[in-house]
Structure 1
Amino acid sequence: MKVHILHTGKVLIDRALAYKERSPHPAPYTGWLRGKKNKMWVPVSSYLIEHPKGLILVDTGWHEEMRLNQKKHLGNFAYSMYKGELLEGDSIAEQLHSLGVKSKDLDFVILSHMHSDHVSGLKHVQNAKKILTSEIEWNSAQKKLGYIKSMWDNISIDTFKLTDIPYGPYKKGYDLFGDRTLYLVYTPGHSDGMISILVKMKNGWLLLASDVGYSERSWKEMILPGITTNRKAAYHSLKWLKGFSEKKDCVGIVTNHDPEIKSTIIE
């Protein structure tokens, strides 16, 4: 088993989007009417998993259109809240090419959830054999604010129903290969159907925790993300993350936007 951590751009956000804060401002996570001192750059990550039974990409980072016309790609509302950056060579298409991987070689593209910084680059990998997200997340993305549907226009996306698994705050998710080596773990709160990815490595479990927290600080200090659709569920998911980090068979936790986590390969 091999996991490539790929930084597929970065995003400038208000710190309150990463770490929920009490403020007289009604919505500090938007960054509206807040100064530059409150802004922070964080990576936008994707993960390529080389599994004995297939090649799996988790999330897709920014699309190359972000270099040309961010406002058009994100829409006015999202563009007013955050800005992205995607250097040459950093898109998922470019990074897969450098690894000798074509999108049609991907057995699965797993979408942890469908916020823009996780699905923006989806059209770069639309020729993957299967693109998959949770049924709950898919349904939310069709109905709720906070999603940019143009990012998956005309792309075939499959969904999975939650089943009982041994891990997670609700012990719900999906055993991708049915062999207990890679679980899609239901970790809701930041979005209704968000999942984390639990990968069986040689010496234990590696947890790709998406946006359950923004960094190690999140679960050590129990600070929720600034945006939650269900605060109680978000807290429950973060509490599970904290507990899992203390287990002997946890070899690491990787959150999507942690500036301390660098592009690397974990074996």
Structure 2
Amino acid sequence: MPASQRGPAGLRLYTFGCGTSTADLSTFAGPRYSGQLVTIPMPAYLIEHPKGRLLFDTGPSYRVAEDAEGYLGRGLARAMNIQMQRDDAIDRQLERHGYRTDDITHVALSHMHLDHAGGMAHFPRARFLVQQDELRTAWWPERFQRHHYIFEDYVATRRFEFVELHGDYDVFGDGSVVMLRTIGHTQGHSSLLVRLANNGPVLLTADAVHHRINLERFVLPSIEWSPTDCVKTIQRLRDVREHEQARVIIAHDPDDWAELKRAPEFLD
């Protein structure tokens, strides 16, 4: 990897597991897998950078752990079948590893579905980074998208600081942490490229793809806002992987999760 593509000394990537969900694999990988249930992780990532601490996604709200049916509604709670304890919520995870929520300077959101943005309200002092299209969709979603956007997750963030993005965004200005616009799953989805000094570039896809099959075989999940944009995004992820020689980490893929270091271990 060229020196120009390496992140600064001290750049680290930590991973937290914020519970799991059970789903039929056919939702992500096509009808041939119908009836095959998989347990999928719901991660959040902390990036330590000399200029700040960035959280990429937040996992679900702690209220899902306390009363999923009361918070999400019976239908959605049963459909997602989330397994989560209160200590799995991101505020407790950070505390357990020596951080306060006020230590987080940036919160970058891949999108604002309940399993990625449920912990937003814990970070009133952070600067939020999210595509403008995603913000607009979250506050006024189209009818068929409404069930995955939980208004109570972010109503308290109305006065928080938001940077509304219109494409790719270099978070710290040195090329080490870059948000990539990867729409398709939602109108304003982003992935995150982290150029680590020792482990090399890591591409955190979030929900741009849901399973390795999507990336390698161009099989589309059945839950995408725009299949056409999803195809373009998959090609972009493949291009970034090739150009950067990046390790691709798919948020909800159980096999990727099994191979990933968890906090307090890290990639650097």
How does the TM-score come out when normalised to structure 2? Answer: 0.84
Which residue matches 1:242?
238
Separation in structure 1 between the aligned mates of residue 162 and residue 86 of structure 2, nearest angstrom: 31
Q: 1:191 deviation in Å?
A: 0.4
Determine helix, strand or coil for the equivalent of 1:89.
helix
Which residue matches 1:43?
41
1:5 aligns with 2:15: yes
1:232 to 220, 228, 233: 228
Which residue matches 2:77?
79
| Residues 30-53 of structure 1, C-alpha deviations (whole Å, 9 max, x = no match) | xxxx8xx34321000100000111
Q: 1:153 deviation in Å?
A: 1.4
Q: 1:227 deviation in Å?
A: 0.9
Q: Tell me how large the CA RMSD over aligned residues is.
A: 2.0
Which residue matches 2:66?
68
Separation in structure 2 between the aligned mates of residue 239 and residue 196 of structure 1, nearest angstrom: 13
> More helix by proportion, 1 or 2?
2
1:15 to 21, 25, 35: 25
1:256 aligns with 2:254: no
Which residue matches 2:186?
191
Which residue matches 1:130?
127
Indicate conservation of the 8 Å contact 1:4/1:47, yes or no. Answer: yes
Matched residue type, 2:205: A
Q: 1:91 deviation in Å?
A: 1.9
Which residue matches 2:216?
220
Q: 1:22 deviation in Å?
A: 7.8
Separation in structure 1 between the aligned mates of residue 62 and residue 205 of structure 2, nearest angstrom: 25
Separation in structure 2 between the aligned mates of residue 251 and residue 97 of structure 1, nearest angstrom: 30
Over the matched positions of the two proteins, sequence identity in percent amounts to 26
Determine helix, strand or coil for the equivalent of 1:81.
helix
User: 5+ unaligned residues in a row in structure 1: which ranges?
Assistant: 24-33, 163-171
1:181 aligns with 2:185: no
Q: 1:77 deviation in Å?
A: 4.2
Which residue matches 1:150?
152
* Residue-pair matches, total: 244
Indicate conservation of the 8 Å contact 1:63/1:91, yes or no. Answer: yes
User: 5+ unaligned residues in a row in structure 2: which ranges?
Assistant: 1-10
